[in-house]
Amino acid sequence: MNELHVAGLTKSYGAAEQSVLRGLDLTVPAGALTAVLGPSGCGKTTMLRIIAGFLRADAGTVRLGDRLLNGPGVHLPPERRRIGIVPQEGALFPHLSVARNVAFGLTGSDRAERRHRTAEMLELVGLAGYDDRMPHELSGGQQQRVAVARALAPRPGLVLLDEPFNALDSALRAGVRSDVRAALRATGATAVLVTHDQQEALSTADLVAVVRDGRVAQSATPQDLYQRPADPWVADFVGDAVLLPGTVDTHGTARTALGTVPLATPSQALRTGTVLLRPEQLRLTSTDSEGAVRGTVTDVCYYGHDAMVTVTVEGHDTPVGIRVTGPLSVRPGEETGVLIVGEAALHP
Ligand SMILES: Nc1ncnc2c1ncn2[C@@H]1O[C@H](COP(=O)(O)OP(=O)(O)OP(=O)(O)O)[C@@H](O)[C@H]1O
């Protein structure tokens, strides 16, 4: 099995002050799908291109299993890395049929073996029988499935997916995403999915590495990342966050503009800090409910499965978002009570 281990990767384009990667460390366990999530320009594609061998790092190492791909004096060419790549928009060879696209990397195997493997891969991505179609006769989602089949066919040690669902409309995206994940699981491939879409990372990957300014700010399971973000920036980047100044009481609670909240990890060292809550930890209630603070509804965004209600409260400059499921009974301009449910994290 092939664990990917990236250590101390640095890269600048031109002058050193244009440093894009600044000592990036990333470990992807064998057989796991890790999403690399970060804002535009944080260095995700640069990292992917170095792992693939298309670009040289200034320093750092890339290992796949027991093979050193990049290191001091070592730069294995892309074709010798055993890495499959799924680019942003499939990039199928337009003049080759679906079957010939999938079989493209199967050099070294005989004709019968190539046919067998191609059929197996097309079946895996739900395109059995599409062998003779040409790429322009496929939908965007089907083209991406062929690109995944092509990447997996030569049994690569690692699959790199570079924002592969970007060009698909949102209705199609969820289906293609879960089929691609199933195909990766079925082959036991170790995979890296680069994305700037938080929902995509959380819902698709086994692990999510959040990149900020050319370094991994946090790498964790989707649930850990959402519930225990390393700092307020990660919290805000991975989902909606309500960040409030808080003062710690002696009994493991913090006082905020939204009331007093128990701390998940009572703080010994911190007397004040930033209290982190998720919008689903806030409840709208009547203004005279026990423990509730008063606020004014300023906006309501209805999404069908839930709604985001924005409320301003006294003593806090920034309006807070409250996720409401079920019937919605408030309108902008109305007074409401706001109650915190559950525990909060405190950050310096
Ligand atoms: N060939 C290049 N020459 C000079 N600068 C580059 C080059 N490629 C990328 N950059 C710069 O490096 C930074 C990181 O780019 P990169 O494409 O790795 O980011 P990214 O996180 O993948 O962004 P996005 O999500 O927008 O694709 C950007 O500021 C970009 O302008």
User: Using an 8 Å Cβ cutoff, are 12 and 43 in contact?
Assistant: no
| Chain segment 133-173, per-residue pLDDT in tens | 999 999 888 898 899 899 999 989 999 999 888 877 877 88
Residue 314 has a pLDDT of 86
Q: Which fold has domain 240-347?
A: OB fold (Dihydrolipoamide Acetyltransferase, E2P) (2.40.50)
Residue 277, beta-bridge partner list: 242
Within 10 angstroms of residue 276's Cβ, the number of other Cβ atoms is: 23
What the block records as the tokens of 333 is 């301009």
Whether domain 4-232 has CATH 3.40.50.300: the reply is yes
- Report how far ligand 1's centroid is from the alpha carbon of 46 (Å): 6
210 to 104, 129, 191, 253: CA distances (angstroms):
34, 39, 16, 29
Closest CA to 207 of 2, 1, 31, 24: 31
pLDDT, average across residues 330-348? 91
Task: Note whether ipTM > 0.90 here.
Answer: yes
DSSP state of 292: P
* Residue type at 43 in one-letter notation: G
| Chain segment 243-254, per-residue pLDDT in tens | 999 999 878 899
| Chain segment 296-322, per-residue pLDDT in tens | 999 999 998 899 999 999 888 899 999
Q: Over 90: is that where the pLDDT of 57 sits?
A: yes
Residue 238 — pLDDT band, cuts 50, 70, 90? very high
Give CA–CA dist 302/309, Å, rounded: 8
The answer to whether 4-232 and 240-347 have equal CATH topology is: no
What the block records as the tokens of 240 is 């909606």
What the block records as the tokens of 26 is 């990333």
Burial of 60 (0-12, 13-18, 19+ CB in 10 A): buried
* Residue type at 294 in one-letter notation: R
What the block records as the tokens of 304 is 């069908």
Q: Over 90: is that where the pLDDT of 23 sits?
A: yes
- Report how far ligand 1's centroid is from the alpha carbon of 161 (Å): 17
Ligand 1 site: residues with CB under 6 angstroms? 13, 20, 38, 40-46, 196
Give CA–CA dist 289/339, Å, rounded: 8
Within 10 angstroms of residue 74's Cβ, the number of other Cβ atoms is: 11
Q: Over 70: is that where the pLDDT of 15 sits?
A: no
User: Using an 8 Å Cβ cutoff, are 183 and 102 in contact?
Assistant: no
| Chain segment 168-200, per-residue pLDDT in tens | 787 788 888 888 888 888 888 999 999 989 999
- Report how far ligand 1's centroid is from the alpha carbon of 68 (Å): 25
Residue 1 — pLDDT band, cuts 50, 70, 90? low
Q: Which of 18, 46, 55 for mutating ligand 1's site (highest number of atoms within 8 Å of CB)?
A: 46
- Report how far ligand 1's centroid is from the alpha carbon of 238 (Å): 21
Within 10 angstroms of residue 315's Cβ, the number of other Cβ atoms is: 10
Element (H, E) at 96: none
Residue nearest to atom 10 of ligand 1 (CA): 13
- Report how far ligand 1's centroid is from the alpha carbon of 65 (Å): 28
Give CA–CA dist 213/206, Å, rounded: 23
Residue by residue, DSSP assigns 114-134 as: HHHHHHHHHHHTT-TT-TT--
Task: Say what the pTM is.
Answer: 0.88
* Per-chain mean pLDDT for the chain: 90
DSSP state of 51: H
Give the residue extent of every domain in the chain: 4-232, 240-347
User: Using an 8 Å Cβ cutoff, are 219 and 208 in contact?
Assistant: yes
In the chain, helix, strand, coil percent, each to 5? 25, 35, 40
Residue nearest to atom 16 of ligand 1 (CA): 43
Report the nearest atom of ligand 1 relative to the CA of 43.
Answer: 18
